[in-house]
A = this chain, B = another copy of it.
Amino acid sequence: MRYFVTGGAGFIGSNMVDRLLGLGHEVVVYDNFSTGRREFLENAGKYESFTLIEGDTLDLEKLKKSMAGCEFVFHFAANADVRMGCEHPKKDLEQNTIATFHVLEAMRENSIRKIGFSSTGSVYGEAAVIPTPEDAPFPVQTSLYAASKLAGEGMIAAYCEGFDFTAYIFRFVSILGERYTHGHVFDFYRKLQEDPDKLYILGNGKQRKSYLYVQDCLDAILTVIEKAQEKVNIYNLGTDEYCEVNDSAGWISEKMGLSPVFEYAGGERGWIGDNPFIYLDTAKVRGLGWTPKYSIKDGVLKTVEFLERNTWVFDVRD
């Protein structure tokens, strides 16, 4: 099978690329390297079945040409910065909503009808039901990031109805692991490298969050694509546990051999639109036989180990 992976040089994308190549598939990566890293494709570059195209999802014509001959599209490219939406509202619209429309149009142009899409558990807003199942009460959006992912989900589902596409939509908790280059573990690690004596935490540290290790995430995605039978297949992906930001900060500090004082910005939320409790019901994906192999703590520790071995990811780029 020939896969097309947008954002294939990014965190989840590049891990999926390695997985697909290892399974013997052909892979075309399409990435603009705005947040993706060439280093994450070093392993992929060893495969003859690998093609790299440097391109932007906002460049519809290039996207259309680049997809020729592919049979399945993983659309991972996105502005994944959930916190800063209010500082540049256009970014989520362009890089998530409009980019997803372009991916769908490029697929239609090339008669490709299968898409895997990275959505987010943030689409549940401040969920009325926790753990939150896929058919939770119709939520109210609380961030531009989640609103743009929901817009993507909606268009994808409409293409399934209108153009006979099949979609696999994944509502992730935060993903952790190798090649992780943003989010709280990344931020805490960097802050503790700069000042090992104290750690400044957004909110009151009691925000409860759920996380999933990236290899477990890939297993889940591939299980769903193999087994799910609907036209529009929507699955929560996460572990059956959550932790407080304080727990995670403690694990990170301990792993680094540090005992910093935690200082808090205060408030229930770390930022505007932050959800103080994210915990997804994953019974649906477990029903397909998938189960995570790693705990949240495992994922946090593996992420710290990756950062320790790859301090170059902290280098500021142009």
Please report A residues at the B interface, Cβ cutoff 8 Å. 85-86, 89-90, 93, 97-98, 101, 104-105, 124-125, 128, 134-144, 146-148, 150-151, 153-155, 157-159, 161-163, 232, 234, 272-273
Given contacts A89-B104, A97-B97, 5 further A-B contacts (CB under 8 A): A93-B101, A138-B139, A140-B234, A146-B154, A158-B273
Cα-based distance from A93 to B85 in the complex (angstroms): 20
- A151 in contact with B161 (CB, 8 Å): no
- B105 in contact with A161 (CB, 8 Å): no
> Whose C-beta in chain B lies nearest to the C-beta of A152?
B151
Contact of A153 among B128, B141, B157 (CB under 8 A): B141
Cα-based distance from A151 to B93 in the complex (angstroms): 10
Contact of A128 among B86, B135, B143 (CB under 8 A): B135
Contact of A134 among B124, B138, B272 (CB under 8 A): B138
Cα-based distance from A154 to B155 in the complex (angstroms): 13
- B97 in contact with A151 (CB, 8 Å): yes
Which residues in B have their C-beta under 8 angstroms from that of A140? Answer: 157, 232, 234
> Whose C-beta in chain B lies nearest to the C-beta of A93?
B101
- B158 in contact with A142 (CB, 8 Å): yes
- A144 in contact with B155 (CB, 8 Å): yes
> Whose C-beta in chain B lies nearest to the C-beta of A134?
B138
List 14 interface pairs A-B (beta carbons < 8 Å), by A numbering: A85-B158, A89-B104, A93-B155, A97-B151, A128-B135, A136-B138, A141-B153, A142-B158, A147-B151, A147-B157, A150-B150, A151-B154, A161-B273, A162-B273
